[in-house]
Amino acid sequence: MTKKKAAGMALLVVVLSSYYLYRNVSISWNEVQDASSGTTALPNTPSLALANISKPEQREIFVCPMHPEIMQDHPGTCPICGMGLVKSGDHIGHDHGIQVDAASIQKLGVRLASVKESIISQEVHAYGNVTVDGDTLYNIHSKFDGWIKKLHIHSTGQKIKQGQVIYEIYSPELLMQQKEYLRFVERRKQILQTIGDVRFQENEYVMDLLQELSRERAKFLYADIGIETVQQMDDSRRPVDVVKILAAKSGVVTQINAREGSYATPSTTLFTLADVSTVWINVALYPDQVEQVQVGDEATITGAGGQKIKARLNFLNPVAENNKVSARVEIDNRKLQLRPGSFVDVTIHTHPHKALTIPRSAVMRSGRGNFVMLYRGEGRFLPTKVETGAENGELVEISDGLQEGVQVAVNGQFLLDAAASLNDAMQRMQQPAPAAKTDMGKRP
C-alpha cells in the first residue's frame, strides 16, 4: 500500500470517528430557575442529546433578510422594512438555525416570552455626595469691632439653638453705645420724677425721648446682645464690659473662623451654620450619562443602611468639571437619614417611554453584538441579532430585529446557540472539499 493510500485511509477513520462521537455526545444542562412572569414554561431535565437536534425540515420558506421573524410560504415583501423576501436557504443568516423535537424542549424546560410593548425607562447608575443645603447656610458676623474673650462653639457639627450664647466679646465701641443708652435711661427717670407718669401726659418732648430710648434698645437687640443684658444694664445703671452674643438662628456648625483672643470686625465671618433638615445630593455624571438625563427625572437614593429615598433631579449643571457634570437632588432630611459628607448610590430613572421589550435574560451578549434565540414554531430556533436600547432591572428595549408578538427563549438559549453552531460546523465538514489547485508549471 502506497503512502498516499495509507494517509487517505487514516483520514477516513478520523472523519468516521468524529461523526460517531458527534452523534452520541450530549450536553449537560443545569436546572434553570423560574423566569419572569409572562413566559411559557415547560418541565426541566438535566440533559439534552445533540442527536435530537437537526436542521429544520427542508421546505420552501421565504424570509426577510433583515427581520428573520417574518416568514411565509410564498414570495412577498417585508411589512417592516419593505425588502423582498428570499428563500430561507438562500440567506446565510438562516443556515445557523436548529430544530429540536418537542420531547427535548420539554426536557430542557425552555421558557418562551413574547415581544410586547411596555413602558420602560433607562436606569443611570451613579454615586452622590451628601452636602448641606446651600440655601440654608447662615454666616455669623460681629456687629462691632472687639476682642473675643470666650467661645461657646467648640467644633463643627455642633448643634446650635436660636438664642443660645455662642461667644462673649469685649468692645470699646459697644461700651460707648451702652453709655449712650444709659444716659437716655437716666433722662427718662428724671422726667418721670418731674412730671409724673408719662402715660397720661401728652408732652411732645417726652414722646420723642421715649422713641429715642426705644431705638437705642433695638440696637442692642439687633446686635444679638439679648434682652437679658439690656435688662441688666437697666437695673444696675452700669455698662457690661464683656457682652454675651446670642445665636439669631438654629443650625449645625459647618465652619469656625474665630478663636478666643482674636480681633473681630463686622467684615469677619466668625461662624457658619446650616440647617440639615434638608440636604443636597450632588450626583457626578459622565458625558454619556448626561445625554440621557434631564431635570425632573425620578431618582432613587440608597443610603449606607440600605434605606431607599425617592426624589427628583432639580438641577443639572451646564458646566462640566474634570469631564464630569453634576446634577442635584434635594432631600427632606428632617429624620436625619443622611449625613452631610457621606456618599450614597443614586439610580436615575430617565423619562419613560413606550417600546418593544423582552426579559433581560433573553439577550445573549457577545463581541459580535446582541442576539436572541427566536422561536419559529414546530421546535425551530434561530439566533437573531437585535439592537437594544433602554434597560432596567427586568426588561430591555428592542429597537430593531424583532416585531411585536414573536417569541424568544428566555432560558437555555446559550445551550441552543451552542448546539446550532456545532450543527452548522458539522454540516460544513460533511460538504465536499474544493478541488486542490496544482501548479502545472512545476514537476511533482
Q: pLDDT of 127-169, one tens digit each?
A: 999 999 988 999 999 988 999 999 999 999 999 999 999 999 9
Residue 75 placed within a domain: no
Q: What angle do CA 347, 295, 306 make, to 5 degrees?
A: 25
> Do 15 and 117 belong to one domain?
yes
Question: Are both 263 and 301 inside the same structural domain?
Answer: no
Residues 291 and 244 in one domain: no
Q: How many CB atoms lie within 10 A of CB 37?
A: 8
DSSP, residue by residue, 352-416: PEEEEEEEGGGPEEETTEEEEEEEEETTEEEEEEEEEEEE-SSEEEEEES--TT-EEESSSHHHH
Q: Is residue 63 part of a domain?
A: no
| 40 in Cβ contact with 411 (< 8 Å) | no
Are 286 and 383 within one domain? no
Residue 67 lies in a domain: no
Q: Give the span between the Cα atoms of 340 and 336, in whole angstroms.
A: 10
How many CB atoms sit inside 10 A of residue 64's CB?
23
Same domain? For 194 and 283 the reply is: no
Residue 229, in any domain of the structure: yes
Number of domains in the chain: 3
**Domain boundary residue among 350, 376, 397?**
350
184 part of a folded domain: yes
> Is residue 183 domain-shared with residue 262, that is, in the same domain?
yes
Domain of 331, CATH number, reads 2.40.30.170
Establish if 230 belongs to a structural domain: yes
pLDDT value, residue 385: 87
* Domain carrying residue 285: 123-132+276-350
Residue 66 has what pLDDT? 61
Specify whether the CB–CB gap between 403 and 70 falls below 8 A. yes
Distances in Å between the Cα of 429 and the Cα atoms of 16, 433, 434, 435 are 11, 8, 12, 15
The verdict on residue 160 lying in a domain is yes
The pLDDT assigned to 30 comes to: 34
Q: Please tell me the predicted confidence (pLDDT) of residue 37.
A: 41
pLDDT tens digits, one per residue of 373-400 = 888 877 778 888 898 888 877 888 898 8
331 and 403, same domain (yes or no): no
Domain end, chosen from 267, 284, 306, is at: 267
Same domain for 191 and 153, yes or no, is yes
Alpha-carbon distance 409 to 15, whole Å?
Answer: 34
What number of other Cβ atoms are within 10 A of residue 23's Cβ?
A: 11
Write out residues in the chain with pLDDT < 50, as ranges. Answer: 1, 13-57, 90-95, 198, 200, 436-444
**Residue 14, pLDDT score:** 43
C-alpha cell, 317: 449643571
Last residue within a domain, chosen from 241, 267, 293: 267
What per-residue confidence (pLDDT) applies to 242?
A: 92
Whether the full predicted model's pTM is greater than 0.75, yes or no, is no
Residue at 286 is within a domain = yes
pLDDT number for residue 140 = 93
